[in-house]
Every structure is written in C-alpha cells, then in structure tokens.
Structure 1
Amino acid sequence: MALENHPMWRLPRHHLDTEDAHDHVHWVELFYDLIHVVIIFLLGNFLSDHLSVSGFLGFAGLFISVWFAWADSSVFNSLYVSTDVKHRLIMASQIVTAMVMAASVPHVLGKGWMYFALAFAANRLITTYLYHRTHSLGVEESRLAHHVSRNFFILSLVFAISAFLPAPYSYVLFGIGVASIQLLYMAPKVGVLNNKRFLPRLGHMSERFALLMLIVVGEGFFKLVITLSQKGIYKVDPSVLVNFMFGGIAVFVQCWIYFDFVGNGKPKNQDKRTLVNWWLGHLFLMLSAVMVGVALAGEVKVGFWEPYPLKYGVIGCIGLASYLLCLLWIQFNIEPRVAHRFATAKVRMIGVIMALFTLVILPYVPAIIGNLLWGGALISQIAIPVTRAYLTFSKEELAKNT
C-alpha cells in the first residue's frame, strides 16, 4: 500500500473531495473530548463557589469560551478528514492547552487568569495552524482555509494580550475576542458561512454535539456523588438519600429527552440561519445543563422538610426552563422526527411554566414539595409525549386491524 493511501500518512482532505468520508467521530477527537470532562466539572465547581449574578456571568463567559475552543476544533475535523501522524501530534498539543485551561479555572479570577488566557490563545493558535497547514499543502481549492487561519491568528494575539492586562480590561478584551469568533463565521458577506466550501459534515457534528452533551449532563452525577461522598454517606438521614437518588434520576431524564427529541439530529436544511440556530441552540442547551447539574448538588444538602437551598434552587429552576426552551429551539431547526408529533411547543411550555412556578414558591415550601414540582416539570417532558404516542399508535393500530 502506498503511504499516501494509509490513514497514518494520508494528507488532510476536504470531505467533499473524498469518496470515503463518513460521519463517525475519530478516536483522536474522542480523546480530545475526554479533557472536557474535567473542564466541565471544574466550571461547575466555579459556579458552585460563586452563586451570585456576577459569579454566574463569569461562569457563563468561561463556559462559552471553552465551548468555542472545543467547537472550532470540531468544525475543522468535520470539514477536513485528517488522520495522519502530524495531525495527531497537533491534536495532542491542543489537548495540553485544554489541560492548562482546566487547571486554571479554580483561580481564574486571580493569578490563574494569565494561565487561562495564554492557554486559550495557544489553543486558538493551534487551530490557526490546522487551517494554515491545510492551505499550504494545497488540498483546499478555495480561500477558505487561508481566510480562517488568518482570522484565528489575529484572535490568538488578542487573547494573548488580554493575559497581561489588569482586570477588568483583560476580561473586556477577552470577551471582545470571544464575540469576534462568531463574527468569523456569521458576519454578512465576509463570514466564512458565505463560502460554499464551508459545509461541515452535519452528521459528524451532530455526533460530536451528542457526545459532548453526555459529558455535560454527566457532570450532574459527579456533583451528586462527590458532594455526598465528602459529606459522608453514613452521616445523612434517609431523606437525603432519597433526594440523592432523585437527583440521579433527573440527570438520566435530561439525557432521555435530549436523545429522543433532538440528539444526533441533522439541520433540516443548509440555510445559514438554520445552521446558526442549530449551533447556538446547542451552546445554550449545554450551558443550561451545567446549571441544572450544579443545582442538583443541593439535593444532598437538605432533607425533606427544610426549604431547598435557595441559590441552588434558583439556578436549577432557571436552568431547567432554559434547557427546555433550547430543546424546542433545536427541534425547530433539525429534520422532523416522529417524536416531534408528541413533544410539541405546548408540552415544552408546560415544563417551563412549572419550573418557573417552582422558582417563585421555592423559598416558602419544604424541599420535598419543591422537588415534586421541579421533578414534575422535567418528567412531564417524557411522560406526556410517551403517553400521547402510546394512545395515538394504539388507535392507529386498532383502526388498521378493523
């Protein structure tokens, strides 16, 4: 076999230029996702330690930044089939930058900021090189790779400069850089979404979203188990254990409603507006999932009869309402499924209204009441569609047999 025909030495190729491109995620990409287990967990800890408006804004900014770093790398791997040795070594270096970002999160508001910003800049610089390499090898027939590499190089300098500025100027400049990442894609006339070659493998990106979603939602399990283990499982009364188990079921149901209704779903068309909505819908869905995961740690801090910890309850109720709205947002922008007949906008709004009602009464009722209402908001998103589907399909089957 000639070297250029073996995956270890085959040059990167745009998926439109190869006949054997597939949508499945390569093991190198899966390994890159592994470090995000740690990052998401530490971001959840950051939110737990900063349960205030300013703390939430800081968490949201960090999460969006990390998500874009992950997403930009995923987009490249979706556009270009890259499996050669050099690409694997480049991805290894990008994993190291993500490790440094993760280790910086707990102290990012202080001395850790410089390390986070420099690691983020290096991560952007590596993405720059991925596109530059593709362009220099001559495997991209358009100016797409050159355009993206140039813009990411400029942004990497912006992020590096922000590492050395005093607060709050460092945060402002960094935030401008993060917003500019989206302009790179979406700006009218000059954004890369206007390039006909900027067409990622939609099935591949759907699978990447689904895999990261498992990581993000799974953070709730981490929070529950670690919080209880630190408290001492032998020290708590049975009501706390019941709350603990309820939290685990809630995490499972979050995954259930994602994968049944939108998980691995491809955009319904290739219109720019559809792609942008699909992209942003997943960003805010995952942000909401982390909020819910952090809020569930409150389950092991209280028994049945005390009020649920208010700050945890606030982010949990708002997080659930936002999660359901984002599910509906994504559902409107992907290919229709049979399940969409039953998980309608009205069903989603029932869950949203129940979650917000729980938020209003949470300080005045025992935790068991708050859990029943919040749990009802979540479980209704499975119970109502499944019940409606069963009754509808049973009637259709009966009508067909008579």
Structure 2
Amino acid sequence: MALQNHPMWRLPKHHLDHEGTHDHVHWVELFYDLIHVVIIFLLGNFLSDHLTMDGFWAFAGLFIAVWFAWADSSVFNSLYVSTDFKHRLIMSCQIVTAMVMAASIPHVLNKGWTFFALAYAANRLITAYLYYRTNKLGVEVTVLSRTVSRNFFGLAIVFAVSAFLPKPYNFIVFGAGIISIQFLYMLPKIGVLECKRFLPRLGHMSERFALLLLIVVGEGFFKLVITLSEKGVYKVTPEVLFNFMFGGIAVFVQCWIYFDFVGNGKPKSQAKWTLVNWWLAHLFLMLSAVMMGVALAGEVKVGFWDPYPLKYGAIGCIGLAAYLLCLLWIQGNIEERVAHKFATAKVRFFGVFLALVTLIVLPFVPALVGNLLWGTALISQIAIPLTQAYFHFLNEEAKEQQIKA
C-alpha cells in the first residue's frame, strides 16, 4: 500500500472527493466528546450553585459557547475526512483546550474567566488552523476552507481580548463573538452556508448529535447518583429512594423520546434554513436537557409530602416544555419516519401544557403530586404514541388477515 493511501498518512479530503466515505464517527471524535462529559457535569453544577436569573443566563451563555466549540469542530470532521497522524495531534491539542475550559467553569464569573476565555480562543484558533491546513495542502480548491479559517482566526482574537477586559465588557465582547459565529454561517451572500461545498455528511452529524445528546441527558444520572451518595444511601427514607428511582426512569424516557422520534434523523433537504433549524433545535434541546438533569437532583432532597424545591422544579418544568418543543422543531426538519404519524404536535403540546401546569401548582402541592403531573407530561410522550401505534398496526394486521381469508 502506498504511504499516502494509508489512513495514518492520508491527507484530509472533502468527503465529496473521497471514495468509499461513510457516516460513522471516528474514535478521535469520540475521544473529543469524552471531555464534554466533564464539561456538561460542571455546567450542571454551575447551574445548581447559581439558581437565580443571572445565574441561569450565565449558565446558558456558557453552554451555548461550549456547544458551538464542539459543533464547529464536528462540522469540520464531517466535511473533511481526516485520519492522519498530524490531524490526531492537532485534535489532542484541542482536547487540552476543552480541559482548561472545563476546569475554569466553577470560577468562571471571577478569576476563572481569563483561563476560560483564553482556552476558548485557543480552541477557535485550532479550528481555524484545521481549515487553513486543508487550504494549504491544496485539498480544498474553493474559497470554503480559506473563508472559514479567516472567520475563526478573527473570532479567536476577539475571544482572547475578552479575557483581559473588566466586567461587564468581557462578557459583552465574548457574547458578541458567539453571536458573530452564527452570522458568519448564515448571512446572505457572505455566509459560509452560501458555499456550494459546505455540505457536511448529514448522517455523520446526526450521529454526533445523538452521541452528545446521550452525554447531555446522562448528566441527570450523575446529578441523581452523586447527590444521593453524598447524603448516604443508607440514611434516606424510602420516599427519597422512590423519588431517586423515578428520576432515573425520567432520564431514560428523555432518551427514549429522542431516539424513537428524531434521533439519527437526517435533515429532509440541504436547504439553508432547514439545516439552520436542525442545528439550532439541537442546541436548545440539549440546553433543556441539562436543565432537567439539574432539576432531578431535587428528587433526593425531598420526600412525598413536602413541596418540591421550587427553584429546581421551575427549571425542570421549563426545561421539559422546551425539550418537547425542540423535539417538535427537529421533527419538522428531518426526513419523515413512521413514528411521526403518532408523535403529533397535539401530543407534544399536551406535554408542554402539563409541564406548565406543574410549574404553576408546584409551590402549593406535595412533591408527590408535582412528580405525578411532571411525570405524566413526560411519559405521555411515549405512552400516547405507543398506544396509538399499537392499535393502528393491530387494525392493519386484522385487515390484512381478512383480505387473505
């Protein structure tokens, strides 16, 4: 085998130019995702420690920033099949930047900010270099890689500058940089989405979204288990243990809803706004999932008859309502599947309505009632479609047997 044909030395190549390309995620990408287990957990801790409006907006901003860093790297790996040893070394450096970002999160509002912003700038700079490398090697002959490289290089400077500015200008400049990322994708005529070769492998990106969703939703398990272990599993009442198990089932159902109805779903077209909606819907879906994961920690803090901790309950109810709306948003932008016949907008809005009702009554009812309402809102999203599908296919089967008879 010629050296240039071996994956360890083969140059990066746009997937449209690559023979035999596939959508499966490479192990290097999976390893990059691994650090995000820690980041999501620390972001959840940050929200738990800052259950105020200001704290929530800080959490949301941090989550969106981290998500874009992950997503932009994922887009590159979806566009360009890169397996050579130099790419692996570059990715190892990007993993280190994510590690520093993660370690900075607990103190990001104070002395940790400089480290977070500089690590984020370095992360963006590495993404810029990945695109620059494809241009320098001549594997991308259009303006695509040159344009994206220039954009991320400029943004890296913006993020680095924000590391040294006083409050609140540091957050304002950083936030402007985050918003600029999306404008540089979406703006008419000059946005990267206008480039004809900006066509990520949709199956690959769908798989990356699904893997990150597992990480994000799994944060709920972390919160439940660690909260109970710190209290001492042998110290709590049977009521708390029951709530604990209910929380675990709720986390499982969140994944069930996603994978049955939208998980690994490809966008229904390559149209610009279809891709944008698919992209943004996953961002807010995962943000909502972290909110629910944090809220479920409250299950271990209360029995049946005391009111559910209000701040935890509020983010849990709002998170569930937003999660269901995002599922519907994604569902409207991906290829049709059989399950969509039963997971209708009416079903989703029923769950949203119950979640908001729970939010209103939560301070006035025992936690048992709050869990019953919230759990009904969540589990109905599987129970109703499953029941409808069962009777639908049962009737179809009966009709087929009658025809054969």
Is 1:206 aligned with 2:206? yes
Equivalent residue number for residue 269 of structure 1: 269
Whole-angstrom CA distance in 2 between matches of 1:9 and 1:90: 14
Equivalent residue number for residue 159 of structure 2: 159
Equivalent residue number for residue 292 of structure 2: 292
Equivalent residue number for residue 238 of structure 1: 238
> 1:276-355 residue pairs with structure 2 within 5 A?
276-355=276-355
Equivalent residue number for residue 134 of structure 2: 134
Equivalent residue number for residue 171 of structure 1: 171
Question: 1:210-264 CA distances to partner (integer Å, 9 max, x unpaired)?
Answer: 0000000000000000000001111110000000000000000000000000000
Whole-angstrom CA distance in 1 between matches of 2:334 and 2:241: 39
Whole-angstrom CA distance in 2 between matches of 1:178 and 1:18: 32
Equivalent residue number for residue 399 of structure 2: 399
Could you tell me how far 1:20 is from its partner in structure 2? 1.3
Question: 1:294-351 CA distances to partner (integer Å, 9 max, x unpaired)?
Answer: 0000000000000000000000000000000000000000000000000000000000
Could you tell me how far 1:19 is from its partner in structure 2? 1.3
Question: 1:151-202 CA distances to partner (integer Å, 9 max, x unpaired)?
Answer: 1000000000000000100000000000001111111110010000000000
Question: 1:266-288 CA distances to partner (integer Å, 9 max, x unpaired)?
Answer: 00001001000000000000000
Alpha-carbon RMSD across the aligned residues, in angstroms, is 0.3
Could you tell me how far 1:141 is from its partner in structure 2? 1.7
Equivalent residue number for residue 185 of structure 1: 185
Equivalent residue number for residue 15 of structure 1: 15
2:25 match: secondary structure:
coil
Is 1:27 aligned with 2:24? no
Whole-angstrom CA distance in 1 between matches of 2:57 and 2:117: 17
Whole-angstrom CA distance in 1 between matches of 2:75 and 2:184: 13
Unaligned segments of structure 2, at least 5 residues? none
> Which portions of structure 1, spanning 4 or more consecutive aligned residues, are displaced by more than 3 angstroms?
none
Of 118-127 and 181-190, more deviation after overlay is shown by: 181-190
TM-score, structure 1 as length reference: 1.00
Equivalent residue number for residue 98 of structure 1: 98
Whole-angstrom CA distance in 2 between matches of 1:206 and 1:3: 32
Is 1:86 aligned with 2:86? yes
Which one-letter code corresponds to 1:252 in the other structure?
F
Equivalent residue number for residue 115 of structure 2: 115
User: Taking every aligned residue pair, what percent have the same amino acid on both sides?
Assistant: 79
Question: 1:24-50 CA distances to partner (integer Å, 9 max, x unpaired)?
Answer: 000000000000000000000000000
Whole-angstrom CA distance in 2 between matches of 1:176 and 1:208: 27
2:47 match: secondary structure:
helix
TM-score, structure 2 as length reference: 0.99
Which one-letter code corresponds to 1:288 in the other structure?
S
Whole-angstrom CA distance in 2 between matches of 1:139 and 1:269: 26
Whole-angstrom CA distance in 2 between matches of 1:114 and 1:98: 14
Which one-letter code corresponds to 2:121 in the other structure?
A
Question: 1:82-106 CA distances to partner (integer Å, 9 max, x unpaired)?
Answer: 0000000000000000000000000
Whole-angstrom CA distance in 2 between matches of 1:124 and 1:164: 17
Whole-angstrom CA distance in 1 between matches of 2:329 and 2:291: 18
Whole-angstrom CA distance in 2 between matches of 1:273 and 1:72: 17
Whole-angstrom CA distance in 2 between matches of 1:18 and 1:52: 50
Which one-letter code corresponds to 1:378 in the other structure?
L
1:10 match: secondary structure:
coil
